[in-house]
Structure 1
Amino acid sequence: MRLYHAVMRRRMFCTTSLTAALLAKPGAAAAAVLPAREPPGARRLRLRHAASGAVFSGIYHNGHAADPVAMAELSEVLADTRTGKVRPFDVEAIDIVWEMSRRQRMAELIVLSGYRTEATNREVNGAANSQHLRAAALDLQIATSQFDSFGDAALKLGRGGVGFYRAHGFIHLDSGVVRHWIDGGGPAVAVVRGPPPRTAAEQRIDRLAEAWANLRRR
């Protein structure tokens, strides 16, 4: 009974205090209800690690600089799944993943691999100089229906490395030098893409331009 009366007195005290505060400051109620505005240019990301189930969901960059607390949380989510070892993740790699999620309008990205220790990297037959070793690469699970569009968008972005692993359903992104490759079931094979084929209209324009140039040379 004493506990009941104590709880009721506390509730009455809290209610009275809140009412007094709101009467003293008419705008306080709105301030208490409205959520804080995100800073302009804030970068929000949602990642889920398929192996551990760990999730990061929130703002990791305020538009001017990365949030160290958010980056620490991201590094925990992207830790080596065999050992649990954490290494501070590369902000540039996270920026690439964020840009891809924005361009592809993906609410959540599924991560198959983030940071790897050397032992883990050897176990999965990773490259000796893999960007996973320096916490600068992510392997993202991509649905078959989105695989080509995601891969093309990643190539057009022109940032870091892009690896295509269609048979395993994932695309590798990293913040290393610009390059791309396709996994053929064995060692990764480098891909060299030429310019896209010219359309019929573009070919006609090319012929007109060539004819005009020949006339001017006469």
Structure 2
Amino acid sequence: MHPEACPCCGEAGLVPASALPRRGVLAAVLAGAGTLAAAPAWAQGATRSLRVRRQVTNDSFAGVYFRDGRYDREALRRLDYVFRDLSRAETTPMDPRLFDVMAAAALRLDSDETFEVVSGYRTPESNAVNANRSRRVSRVSLHMSGMAADCRLPGRSATQLARLASEMRLGGVGLYSRDGFVHLDCGPVRRW
């Protein structure tokens, strides 16, 4: 369930500067400035929409998830379902900044295509199983925090999507060209 106020949706989830040590205040200010500098032009208040379809189940979402300066809680719940861990049939509140990364990429690519989601949320158990099968799966994956998705954007190559996402510097980007998908997340900026 989504909290009534989270750092993404409202100020109540933010830590006051007075509660941070001096270095923590400086780090928070610099991190905030970096986030604003990297944020898409529409990030401050424009309507944001996304089109996604889960590759295996065909579950989908197409619509607005942010309007009037706030995330739409019902839209987020629907997106959580599309991005759920299929092997455990478990949902988690996805970080809405992931949807912002995906929407920004589609906007920059001038694409109205529907993202094909290969993998979204993973329970720690599902992630451990995947990591035991492949060295390419991180044991500390942001998939377990609801902050990552492996996806494709029809009409665009995985390389094209990964290159653009890397240029945007909104989070992590992994190119899996052999499998034809890109890992996008809203964590620290990095690429592989």
**TM-score, structure 2 as length reference:** 0.70
Alignment partner for residue 141 of structure 2, among 127, 130, 135? Answer: 130
Whole-angstrom distance in 1 between the partners of 2:88 and 2:108: 33
Counterparts in 2 of 1:145 and 1:48: CA distance versus 1, 3 Å? closer
The structure that is helix-richer by fraction is: 1
- The gaps in structure 2 that reach 5 residues or longer are 1-44, 132-136
Using CA pairs under 8 Å that are at least 6 residues apart, name the structure with larger relative contact order, 1 or 2: 2
Counterparts in 2 of 1:61 and 1:145: CA distance versus 1, 3 Å? closer
1:84 paired to 2:89: yes
Specify the SS of the correspondent of 2:159.
Answer: helix
Alignment partner for residue 118 of structure 2, among 85, 105, 112? Answer: 112
Identity %: 30
Shift of 1:147: 2.4
Alignment: residue pair count: 142
Shift of 1:148: 2.5
Q: Is the 8 A contact 1:114 1:135 kept in 2?
A: yes
Q: How does 1:1-218 map to 2 (within 5 A)?
A: 41-106=46-111, 107-125=113-131, 126-142=137-153, 146-181=157-192
Whole-angstrom distance in 2 between the partners of 1:56 and 1:145: 20
Shift of 1:142: 4.5
**TM-score, structure 1 as length reference:** 0.62
Shift of 1:143: 5.5
- The gaps in structure 1 that reach 5 residues or longer are 1-39, 182-218
RMSD: 1.6
